[in-house]
Amino acid sequence: MDITESARRSFSNTPGKDESKAWREDIEPATSGEKEGPTSFNYAGQGTEAEKALVWRQDLRIIPLSAGIYLLCYLDRSNIGNAKVLNEDTGNDLLDETNMTVLQYTIALMVFLIAYAAFEVPSNIMLKRMNPSKWIAFLMFSWGALTMGLGGTHSFGSVTAVRFLLGVFEAGLFPGLVYYLTFWYRTEERSIRVALILASATLAGAFGGAIAYGVGHMNEGLPSLLSSIAVLFLLPDYPETAKWMSQEEKALAAERLGLEGSHGDTGHMTWADAKETLTDWRLYAHYAVSVPLVSKLQEPMLTR
């Protein structure tokens, strides 16, 4: 049986509960006495030219677009730091126009991080319910509109409210992109692609101030707002529904992710799934390490 035929069968005959054991045995490596790790499962098309071509096509469609989205997000996130120093010599900076103190400015920064931490998980639930392209486009449109609205604030309360809502909508992007990659890539393929997306943030840090200086009083959220329309139509949701993939490619993608990927046609999260996630110690270890680190790394950018 050739690779294409094997992949087609895997795609068209999705195993049910009674068949799952036999299906797993079919794609697990036949080794004598050796236990393989979670990323060692073999499949018919593994390492073939067809697989390499498929992954490359996915990369071209997904990674540049995802990196561009994250770049825009990071630019809008740092917008308040630019607003604080822009036109400071003429008295038209953020603190003077809103009559805010440095303490109030710090509080406005802090509420963003609170919202950001609280709404990451709910946002990922919505991503699965609404499809990635629709949800990420909605997030972009929302944070773009809010960033533009920051220019119309004239008090501490309004700045704080906008920053909180900005945290709500930006919270879902990075964890959403990481979750989104699980629909397309195997476990060992994801880390380099997450790193490439994160690298776009360095461009935001390098050019964010220059962009703010160049556009002067123009709202920085406009590119995100307009780009959300393109994302709605250009970001592919799942391999199963990608119009630019052939049936053979869809079959191979499904077989590749049989044990190590998320699937667009699976059901919604149940309470049992939520309990399993919320009782996993690694979740809290991640927050214990990442939240102080990320807050410290972002502090110079936000408070300059």
- pLDDT per residue as tens digits for the range 165-176: 999 999 999 999
- Give the pLDDT confidence score for residue 169 in this predicted structure: 94
Query: Per-residue DSSP letters for the chain?
Result: --HHHHHHHHHHS---TTTHHHHHHHHS---SSPPP-TT----TTTT-HHHHHHHHHHHHHHHHHHHHHHHHHHHHHTHHHHHHHTTGGGT-SHHHHHT--HHHHHHHHHHHHHHHHHSHHHHHHHHHHH-HHHHHHHHHHHHHHHHHHHTT--SHHHHHHHHHHHHHHHTTHHHHHHHHHTTTS-HHHHHHHHHHHHHHHHHHHHHHHHHHHHHTTS-TTHHHHHHHHHHHHHS---GGG-TTS-HHHHHHHHHHTTTTS--TTSPPPPHHHHHHHHT-HHHHHHHHHHHHHHHHHHHHHHH-
User: What percentage of the chain exceeds 90 in pLDDT?
Assistant: 29
- Give the pLDDT confidence score for residue 230 in this predicted structure: 94
Q: How confident is the model at residue 277 (pLDDT cuts 50, 70, 90)?
A: confident
Residue bearing the bigger pLDDT, 13 or 165: 165
Which residue is listed with tokens 């979740």? 283
85 contacts 300 by C-beta, under 8 angstroms? no
- Give the pLDDT confidence score for residue 143 in this predicted structure: 92
Which stretch, 25-29, 90-94, 136-140, has highest mean pLDDT? 136-140
pLDDT digits (tens, 9 = 90+) for 212-266: 555 544 557 788 889 999 999 999 999 988 999 999 999 888 888 877 767 665 6
Give the predicted TM-score (pTM) of the model.
Answer: 0.73
Domains of the chain: 48-303 (1.20.1250.20)
Q: How confident is the model at residue 33 (pLDDT cuts 50, 70, 90)?
A: very low
Which stretch, 113-122, 167-176, 263-272, has highest mean pLDDT? 167-176
Point out the least confidently predicted range of 32-46, 139-153, 189-203: 32-46
- Give the pLDDT confidence score for residue 178 in this predicted structure: 92
